[in-house]
Amino acid sequence: MRNLNRFHLNGLRALEAAGRLGNLRSAAEELGVTVGAVSQQILKAEEQFGRPLFERHPKGLKPTSFGEDVLRYLTSGFAEISTGLALAERRREGVLTVSVAPVFASKWLVWRLQGFREQHPDIRIRIDADVSLVDPGSSDVDVCIRVGRGGWPNVKADKLLDQLVFPVCSSTIAERLRHPDDLATVPIIREPTPMFGWNAWLGLNGLDESILGDGPVFSDASLCLDAAVAGQGVFLGWETLACDAIAMGRLVAPFPDRYATGISYWFVTAKSAPPARAVGAFRDWLKSELAIGS
């Protein structure tokens, strides 16, 4: 690595930021310096390389073929440095950052976290409620809990629980439901963009969604569940969403059948990250809690 002594770190950072972001202004904002400073750093770095890394255009910067090769490694290298520094800071602070879908966080996780804190008082949990699949290898997130079919690139995904779906409703509406056909006679609560449709449950009962009538539509599953508790109709729920409301008697599952959707809960971590005690402890606790509720 002696060749690193020939280049200024600030110049390499300026090159990488400008190449990734595509213009000087965005690079300057990220680095916390002026546009002129970034421009000067890039020019000095190009002098050290002995050839240009960018073509200048009115709308921004375009890497040359040589620049693309260099920038690919710079971006990868700085990402590794950032990950290492974030890991060191988290270990120093004893903080485990968990990215999780808001519905899972609000309806299941937050109600059980005190149990984890009692078992591991030295580990602080920071919950980041977000639906996007964050890459734990290039962010300050240690763990993602995600719902899907798995197979995501560049991460390790450990299956936690298969998702099973079943209708839920208030006890008053449940009195009108003796057979799956009876769902045609009650309001159906829906999400506009669900991960799965009613056929995931109806199909295995020899029915399809065409039998279902209208009902209220809400933007996310948490609101749909609350509407079911309020007696506004029947919602197609799942364990981690509905289990606590059922246990408290606020909802009932009028039919015994619960069917798999092909979707599961996954514990997602960085592909190349070394195992951390806090990550393992949280994974083991999650699996135990999910096994109790399933």
- Which of these three, 90, 125, 151, is where a domain ends? 90
Q: Do 15 and 155 reside in the same domain of the chain? A: no
Residue 14 sits in a domain of what CATH number? 1.10.10.10
Q: Do 114 and 204 reside in the same domain of the chain? A: yes
Give the model's pLDDT for residue 91. 53
- Which of these three, 74, 90, 106, is where a domain ends? 90
Residue 289 CA from chain centroid, whole number: 20
Q: Do 166 and 290 reside in the same domain of the chain? A: yes
Give the model's pLDDT for residue 275. 66
Q: Do 86 and 98 reside in the same domain of the chain? A: no
- Domain range for 141 is 94-294
Give the model's pLDDT for residue 73. 83
- Which of these three, 65, 90, 115, is where a domain ends? 90
Sequence length of the chain is 294
Q: Do 257 and 273 reside in the same domain of the chain? A: yes
User: What sign results for the dihedral spanned by CA atoms 105, 110, 116, 117?
Assistant: positive
* C-alpha span between 277 and 121 (Å, rounded): 13
For residue 201 the two structure tokens come to 């449950």
Q: Do 189 and 174 reside in the same domain of the chain? A: yes
Q: Do 259 and 189 reside in the same domain of the chain? A: yes
Give the model's pLDDT for residue 35. 86
Report whether 100 contacts 129 (CB < 8 A).
yes
Residue 119 sits in a domain of what CATH number? 3.40.190.290
Give the model's pLDDT for residue 19. 86
Burial track 25-49 (b if 16+ CB lie within 10 A, e otherwise): ebbbebbebeeebbbebbeebbeeb
Element at 204 (helix H, strand E): none
Per-residue pLDDT 10s for the chain (294 aa) are 566 666 778 888 888 888 888 888 888 888 888 988 888 888 888 888 888 888 888 878 888 989 888 888 888 887 777 766 666 655 555 689 999 999 999 999 999 999 999 999 999 999 998 877 777 776 778 899 999 998 888 889 999 999 999 999 999 999 999 999 999 999 999 999 888 899 999 999 999 999 999 999 999 999 999 999 999 999 999 999 999 999 999 999 999 999 999 999 999 998 876 668 899 999 999 999 998 755
Give the model's pLDDT for residue 222. 94
Q: Do 197 and 59 reside in the same domain of the chain? A: no
Give the model's pLDDT for residue 85. 66
Q: Do 69 and 98 reside in the same domain of the chain? A: no
Total number of domains in the chain: 2
Q: Do 220 and 98 reside in the same domain of the chain? A: yes
Q: Do 65 and 172 reside in the same domain of the chain? A: no
* C-alpha span between 230 and 239 (Å, rounded): 19
Q: Do 83 and 160 reside in the same domain of the chain? A: no
